[in-house]
Structure 1
């Protein structure tokens, strides 16, 4: 039985960046450090480009998990920043949930560290409350591919959709003609091969 295509809508989506903290990121082993950082910052650039409400949260940042990576705080200086004092599941923090619901948006784009806990737990809780959840797999990291696949399987079975940051951007963009230079600059900034395409395009369009 076919299901309705529930595509991302820039007017109905909110981005949740969960526990991208200096300490926790050191645990990520299913991506190389440079690759993972690039993916996370690409998602952040997409959120900013489409002016999506973005919520940042950390877990026990005064402990071993460490502070949120500075690039994200700098990218979203006015975004809600929820420093959870101890809750492992961000959805157990009332301030975080209130910030999500205050946006009035029903589509959640989520990424975080680690995938099996910091992403999976709030994803499952949000799905239970009726949100549509889109997990950005390449901007979420964990200990190894086996752990990642187990976590993704659990979320999919509960109703989450899996996407990478490139697909998120393209689905929000909808049509290249909306802003090829602006959107293309994001892609080119994070995908070297796409930078070559944009350079070719710029030269041929003169």
Structure 2
């Protein structure tokens, strides 16, 4: 199944200061999350951001916060899976009721919150797309294990280029011209 901008929503999981600082390849993960967020904003794809215990881990990092619009939602949680948090679950389901059953997932940590969220989303009838180049863990091995497990669990493992090009569908459009710098 290809991604569709009309059926998609973007979920950015726990990209917070104190946690991001410990992530292997943190600059790359952050850049890829920004890339996805820019594309979602340009294509009017709804965005949800989770924050794991922000009192301890800090808020979502400024480079992402600066890109968020008024319609985007940032919700706190203490659960590892976003689906186990009532407010996040309701937000994701509300967007699904609007026809957005594809959840594109980026963030940290790949082997904990991202994996648990993707598996729970699949179990609840969503199509989960985990963006491999936009997820990270403190240890490389943990990220590798998460990507392998996600592929076996029914989630689609994609990269940010795949997401953006599938959302765009074709070249030559105003949206393509706007987003081309992100993928060249």
- The answer to whether TM tops 0.5 is yes
| Counterpart secondary structure, 1:137 | strand
Question: TM-score under structure 2 normalisation?
Answer: 0.92
Which residue in the other structure is 2:64 paired with?
72
Indicate which of 14, 27, 31 corresponds to 1:34: 27
Q: Is the Cα–Cα contact under 8 Å of residues 29 and 107 in structure 2 kept in the other structure?
A: no
Paired position in structure 2 for 1:185? 181
SS of the equivalent of 1:130 reads coil
CA distance in 2: counterparts of 1:8 and 1:89, whole angstroms:
22
- Select the structure that is richer in strand: 2
1:51 to 44, 49, 60: 44
Q: Does 1:8 align with 2:6?
A: no
Alignment partner, residue 159 of structure 1 = 154
**2:103 alignment partner, one of 85, 99, 108:** 108
Secondary structure at 2:55's aligned position in 1? coil
Task: Say whether 1:142 aligns with 2:134.
Answer: no
Give 5+ residue unaligned stretches, structure 1: 1-5, 188-193, 195-206
Q: Does 1:97 align with 2:89?
A: yes
8 Å Cα contact 2:5/2:45 also seen in 1: yes
Q: 1:81 aligns with which of 74, 93, 96?
A: 74
Deviation at 1:55, TM superposition (A): 0.3
What is the aligned length?
Answer: 179
Larger radius of gyration: 1
- Asked whether 1:126 is paired with 2:121, we answer yes
| Cα displacement (A) at 1:157 | 1.1
Match of 1:200 in 2: none
Deviation at 1:145, TM superposition (A): 2.5
Stretch of structure 1 that moved more, 94-103 or 145-154: 145-154
Segments ≥4 residues shifted beyond 3 Å: none
- The counterpart of 1:171, out of the listed 166, 178, 181, is 166
Secondary structure at 1:100's aligned position in 2?
helix
